């Protein structure tokens, strides 16, 4: 697809007028999908697709159009030319955009990662073969994802990666299940087996009578998957420089009033060696790393091209909504193998859901426990807990109430397949917290 894309673009640029510039962003994939239920294959499929987003610029006027490519030379050639004519006609009637910022970089990004994935059928055999005696339900997505950028100004970028994301649960009954995930660029049999073994152990505990707790403050351990749910909400405007300046970010008081999180908390967006390309949709090259929060203190937000132009600040290659695409949270020094002893008495929380802000300005979040959450006494899991609702501020549970973070971190690749497989990722530790507030 790489050579095909750049060849099509070179020919299309011959149709441009001297006053026009054309930027084209390409996204595509060749992915295999498999859906499981009761540890059996219920549905399989392959998606082979590519989309080109054309951006025609003339002075300060610009407009976009997106179309699917067929990989047939003549069909795509005619479709691209037709799209160019439509954009040219539209460009005549639209107003100037004062915040237009284009890539002028002469640097070229060309990253093609080696495909270390086994055949998808081998992964499927491994999953079914080791779980035939339990009810495993989930979906596996695996294969190649590519992104490209080409401009008539002479810029060319390419990114190609291969990975998998297995989102799965071991089901008991009613709302009782153990939710698990496994993602990466290579399938490690021992790692999957260890995750499955841990899930089996938790599933056996779910069969015990449930334990209810009263509203109040409790010591909790949040597994990386639960932390990922919280970070996912914080990533909605939280790290956006535009939202911080407009005071619609949950973290705006970190900049405006110098509020801090725990010194144990640091966040960076790290594109180098991540599953996301090191260039944005406009061709702007992203830095290898952007420090967002360092030792609990605000450093900077994510800056898109438009925010850069609006406020006269340096862009960070952020997308238009300025959310982190390759987010990492620094590890701590708690060994995850001894986490029950560290927790001693309290709640072991694997997953959260239905998260939302209860007070955006105070970075206060509400949500519910889900799937396998357990009551722990004297370092031993006693029983599963019924679903509970929490309501607490990040300035507390990621602030003065944060006891520590695990030294081991887990990689999360986005399971979103809306339109196409997402390249977003996060790399997060578990968190041990005192005085976490439950309301129901």
- For residue 265, count other CB atoms closer than 10 A to its CB: 21
pLDDT of residue 105: 75
Q: What sign has the CA pseudo-torsion 109, 114, 120, 125?
A: negative
pLDDT of residue 273: 87
CA 201 to chain centre: 28
Six-digit token pair at 252?
A: 């705006």
Question: What contacts 239, CB < 8 A, 6 or more positions away?
Answer: 249, 251, 267, 269, 292, 301, 302, 322, 323, 324
Q: How far apart are CA 349 and CA 415, in angstroms?
A: 21
Cβ-count burial 294-328 (b if 16+ within 10 Å, e if not)? eebebebbbbbbbbbbbeeeebbbbbeebbbbbbb
pLDDT digits (tens, 9 = 90+) for 140-167: 999 999 999 999 999 999 999 999 999 9
Q: How far apart are CA 62 and CA 112, in angstroms?
A: 31
pLDDT of residue 7: 94
Q: Are strands 40-58 and 110-112 parallel, antiparallel or unpaired?
A: unpaired
- SS percent in the chain: helix, strand, coil, step 5: 25, 40, 35
Place of tokens 């002893």: 341
pLDDT of residue 107: 81
Listed in order, the ranges of the chain carrying CATH 3.30.2290.10 are 2-205
What's the Cα-to-Cα distance from 179 to each of 139, 226, 371, 400, 414, rounded to whole Å? 12, 11, 6, 29, 15
Q: Within the chain, which residues score under 50 in pLDDT?
A: none
pLDDT of residue 223: 97
How much is the pTM?
A: 0.92
pLDDT of residue 226: 96
Give the CATH number of domain 2-205; options: 3.30.2290.10, 3.40.50.300, 3.90.550.10, 3.40.50.11540.
3.30.2290.10
pLDDT digits (tens, 9 = 90+) for 170-219: 999 887 899 999 999 999 999 999 999 999 999 999 999 998 889 999 99
pLDDT of residue 103: 83
Question: What contacts 72, CB < 8 A, 6 or more positions away?
Answer: none
* Of 221, 229, 230, 217, residue with least CA distance to 439: 217
């Amino acid at each position: 697809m790489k050579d095909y894309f750049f060849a099509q673009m070179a020919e299309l640029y011959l149709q441009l007028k001297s006053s026009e510039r054309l930027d084209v962003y390409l996204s595509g994939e060749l992915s295999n999908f498999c859906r499981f239920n009761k540890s059996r294959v219920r549905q399989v499929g392959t998606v082979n697709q590519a989309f080109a987003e054309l951006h025609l610029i003339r002075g300060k006027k610009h407009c976009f159009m997106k179309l699917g490519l067929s990989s047939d030379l003549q069909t795509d050639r005619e479709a691209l030319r037709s799209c160019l004519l439509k954009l040219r006609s539209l460009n005549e009637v639209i107003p100037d955009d004062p915040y237009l910022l284009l890539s002028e970089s002469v640097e070229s990004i060309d990253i093609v990662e080696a495909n270390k994935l086994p055949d998808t059928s081998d992964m499927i055999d491994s999953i079914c073969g080791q779980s035939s005696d339990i009810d495993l339900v989930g979906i596996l997505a695996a294969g190649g994802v590519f992104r490209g950028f080409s401009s008539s100004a002479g810029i060319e970028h390419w990114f190609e990666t291969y990975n998998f994301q297995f989102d799965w649960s071991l089901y008991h009954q009613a709302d009782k299940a153990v939710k698990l995930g496994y993602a990466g660029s290579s399938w490690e049999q021992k790692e999957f087996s260890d995750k499955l073994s841990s899930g089996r152990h938790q599933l056996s505990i779910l069969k015990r009578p449930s334990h209810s707790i009263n509203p109040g403050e409790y010591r909790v351990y949040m597994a990386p998957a639960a932390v990922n749910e919280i970070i996912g909400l914080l990533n909605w405007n939280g790290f956006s420089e535009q939202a911080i300046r407009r005071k619609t970010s949950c973290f705006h008081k970190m900049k405006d009033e110098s509020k801090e999180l725990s010194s144990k908390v640091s966040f960076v967006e790290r594109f180098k060696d991540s599953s996301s390309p090191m260039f944005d949709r406009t061709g702007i090259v992203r830095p290898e790393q952007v420090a967002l929060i360092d030792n609990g203190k605000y450093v900077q937000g994510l800056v898109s091209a438009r925010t850069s132009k609006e406020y006269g600040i340096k862009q960070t290659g952020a997308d238009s909504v300025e959310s982190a695409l390759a987010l990492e949270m620094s590890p701590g020094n708690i060994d995850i193998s001894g986490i029950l002893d560290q927790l001693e008495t309290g709640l072991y929380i694997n997953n959260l859901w239905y998260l939302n802000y209860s007070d955006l300005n105070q970075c206060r979040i509400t949500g519910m426990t889900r799937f396998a959450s357990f009551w722990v006494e004297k370092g031993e899991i006693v029983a599963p807990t019924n679903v509970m609702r929490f309501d607490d501020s990040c300035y507390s549970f990621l602030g003065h109430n944060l006891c520590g973070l695990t030294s081991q971190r887990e990689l999360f690749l986005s399971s979103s397949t809306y339109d196409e497989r997402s390249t977003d990722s996060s790399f997060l530790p578990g968190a041990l917290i005192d005085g976490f507030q439950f309301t129901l």
